[in-house]
């Protein structure tokens, strides 16, 4: 963090927690009327195919709930509401405090995670975004309450300084993506229990993931965005262009490594 930067939103205690643990939950970052707009937007998106971004099986015969409700990739590229909330001012203000400088928005995603669906094996985001110098930060917004039963987020505290690791292959029975990063010795994943409208911010090296949604009747929807520090000069080409808080597109040199946050089992590389 730039020593001259003065925090505008977070307390010193919150900043220390992020620095020490690698993550921070900020309560109530979205108002109910904003969440209702997100609800309606992604309910509409869920009813149709958007080639290259959202390709569900709509015939009702899918043997895997994630085939009917796959994740939506980069909705900000085809939906104005998604772009608006990717640039949500309370989120951008927290990111500026965490970075000590302006944040640039790089990606948006929406996970429906219906009952019975697999989770995503433990991984590290900057393995995919390849932000340098600096790091990516994720802002993971709970659209539904998220807990251990419906496959809420898991974080491995204090792994934000852990080097990026070449992943092992995940268990396809429990993870819809192929990569798995084993936590270091004497660390373990802990649940990040969240209410609707809470946002979990975490460092790009932090090991995190989720387990299966074990419920029969609860979705675990989440709106997830990734950001880079404005002083970064490179990012994986998959995430270009980036956006300032006012919606202006900016570019950075393409890192040839990286790609989507986790590649799905038995699917082609997304566009």
pTM of the model: 0.94
Confidence of residue 1 (pLDDT cuts 50, 70, 90): low
Model pLDDT, residue 266: 66
Q: What is the pLDDT of residue 4?
A: 63
CA-CA distance, 68 to 70, in Å (whole number)? 6
Which one, of 247, 267, 235, lies nearest residue 130 by Cα?
A: 235
How much of the chain, in percent, has pLDDT values that exceed 90?
89
- Tally of CA atoms within 13 A in the half-sphere of 13 that contains its CB: 2
Q: Taking the CA atoms of 61, 263, 182 and 201 in sequence, report the sign of the dihedral they define.
A: negative
Helix pair angle (89-99, 12-21), 10° resolution: 70
Which pLDDT tens digit goes with each residue over 122-155? 999 999 999 999 999 999 999 999 999 999 999 9
Give the separation between CA 16 and CA 13, rounded to whole angstroms: 5
* pLDDT tens string 40-69: 999 999 999 999 999 999 987 778 999 999
pLDDT per residue over 225-252, tens digit each? Answer: 999 999 999 999 999 999 999 999 999 9
DSSP state of 164: P
Strands (E), 28-77: 72-73
Domains located in the chain, CATH noted: 12-255 (2.60.120.620)
- Decide if 143 contacts 111 (C-beta within 8 A): no
Q: Is residue 229 within 8 Å of residue 101, measured between CB atoms?
A: yes
Size of the chain in residues: 271
Mean residue pLDDT of the chain comes to 94
């Amino acid at each position: 963090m730039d020593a001259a930067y003065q925090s505008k939103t977070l307390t010193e205690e919150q900043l220390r927690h992020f620095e020490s643990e690698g993550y921070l939950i900020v309560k109530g970052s979205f108002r109910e009327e904003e969440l209702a707009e997100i609800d309606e937007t992604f309910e509409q998106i869920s009813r149709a195919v958007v080639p290259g971004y959202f390709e569900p099986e709509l015939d009702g015969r899918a043997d895997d709930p994630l085939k009917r409700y796959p994740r939506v990739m980069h909705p900000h590229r085809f939906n104005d509401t998604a772009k608006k909330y990717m640039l949500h001012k309370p989120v951008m203000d927290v990111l500026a405090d965490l970075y000590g400088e302006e944040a640039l928005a790089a990606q948006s995603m929406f996970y429906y995670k219906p009952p019975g669906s697999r989770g995503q094996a433990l991984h590290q985001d900057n393995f995919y975004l390849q932000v340098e110098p600096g790091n990516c930060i994720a802002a993971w917004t709970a659209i539904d309450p998220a807990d251990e039963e419906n496959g809420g987020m898991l974080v491995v505290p204090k792994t934000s300084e852990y080097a990026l690791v070449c992943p092992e292959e995940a268990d396809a029975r429990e993870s819809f993506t192929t990569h798995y990063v084993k936590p270091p010795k004497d660390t373990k994943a802990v649940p990040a229990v969240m209410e609707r409208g809470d946002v979990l911010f975490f460092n790009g090296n932090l090991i995190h993931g989720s387990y299966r949604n074990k419920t029969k009747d609860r979705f675990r929807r989440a709106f997830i965005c990734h950001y880079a520090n404005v002083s970064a000069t490179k990012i994986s080409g998959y995430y270009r262009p980036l956006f300032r808080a006012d919606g202006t597109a900016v570019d950075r040199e393409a890192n040839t490594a990286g790609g989507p946050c986790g590649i799905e089992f038995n699917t082609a590389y997304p566009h």
